[in-house]
Structure 1
Amino acid sequence: MDLYVEKQGAISIARNLSHDVDDSVFVVPDSISSQERRLTDQVLQHYQKTLKTHVRARRFMCHRGLDDQKLVDQFRIGYADRTLGLSLQKLSKEDEASSRGALQRVGLLKPSGHEFFRGALVVPFINGEGIVTGAYGRRITKKLKTHSVYFVHWRTPETRFFNEAAIQKQSEVFLCKNPLDALSLWSLGLTNTIALMGVFSFSMGHLTFLHKSGVKNVIIAFGDSREESVCARRIAQLNNRIGINTYIMLLPDGLDVNACLSSMRNPKRLLMQALSNPFVMSNAHPDRH
């Protein structure tokens, strides 16, 4: 079957992202240069170092059931505590100006000098070659300022899936809407879990990559809101049409994965119960038992 007959369907999901494109989303228009990639890696390393000693960020991770040092190290999770500018000031004036200019070009610094990820946990998207292709941010404050948002997305033309390496090792994967949900499943032993950067981000690039990687089965683990349900069904239809069996996992109370598992005393038992139930599939195929 010709994969590209599904192009318009995949693009239609991605286009829905346009209503959210504001200060919470930065899409790098072109490929990143070697200097910009080096600086990006250094910024993420700064965030990783910050997370190790930031009490409030670690408390947030613990509350979400994600305070596992192995998990933090493997996925290079960090926290943007607004100290990046102080680190840049330690450079020579020429190097500082050059670095700030490069970081503004790729969107990690705003023209005002503020950090794009300020106040957020930062989870990089890393491809199979170990190269950072994007990053997801989740602000941890309980009360945001006016016009601020909890979720921030930094994307490049190469951004595809979080935990992309899992696709190269498994023919069956769990698909979550964001990295925090994926990390929740990963921490409970489902290491074949990948994630999008929000439910609207699924595009032709994702569809093509799944197909070329030989993935046979995808289990979608989104929440139960109207938008999540619509996107999950559409992704399932697109995948099924090109031969990728796709199912939708149902969680109790309509919660998303991280909220559901982090609110339960025995999250592993809850997960096992969810996995033992039939998954909903598109009308073209029977339920999976």
Structure 2
Amino acid sequence: MTRTGFQKVLLLRSPDQRKTDTWTELFRAVSEVCPEVIEDLKARVFPLYRRLNWAGLGGADYDNLEGWAEAIRSDLLHTDCDGAILELYDKLMAWGKRWWLHHREAYEQAFWAFRAWEHAPEPEDDWPLLGRGDFFRVLNAAFRLEVSEWNPHLESESEFRLRVEAEYREALERYISFVRQRAEAEGLREEARRPNLGEHMVWLVLRQCKGWGYAQIRDFLDLEAGRSAVRDAQEALARELGLALRPTPRGRPKE
């Protein structure tokens, strides 16, 4: 349920960070309520990835994750590689379409999972929620405050307290201004924290991957949210992710 009466919390984030975090949240929800999506990827696609000799397939173009992501984006795989890679590519596309996750970002996330599973003797059932680098460079500028010592012969305790508090406020404002300017120069912008993102993503995954309508989702999660609230959240997230929203089951909905 939406909580009211609380101040909106604003964060400084880049569009790329928002996109990656949102997709990571989607696969977190998949792992939680629809693990068969991940099991299917492991069973049908990952073995093909594991069998390929990446070093011998096109050198720098295909021997790392970034090269593969670029190949997927440009569709070079259909004209510039052999049958083994084409088979893997086609199986991956089929996996995405089967679960209504047909999007470039879903396939790039899958390759991050492959990279993690490749180095694990027994891949975990959970999705490896891997980040992809820092979106905001470390400034190496921690907030510090240096105040000259208190000499009780020349300054009373109350005067010292007032001086420290004033210097602290001034230093804090300078530091916040400095970090904000650096962040905005790197493309970070204010956006509201989304406390309900995880819950709403579960609603989307249950519709997108399981094909459930509102009544099934409501009963499974013991929801208090109404039909329109669930539908609006699903549609908003599908638009943000660039996914074609799966049609809901036909027929008169159960109440």
Q: Which has the higher contact order (CA 8 A, sep 6+)?
A: 2
> Comparing both structures, which one devotes a greater share of its residues to helix?
2
- Of structures 1 and 2, the larger Rg is shown by 2
> Comparing both structures, which one devotes a greater share of its residues to strand?
1
Give the TM-score range, shorter chain.
under 0.3
Q: Normalising to structure 1: TM-score of the pair?
A: 0.25
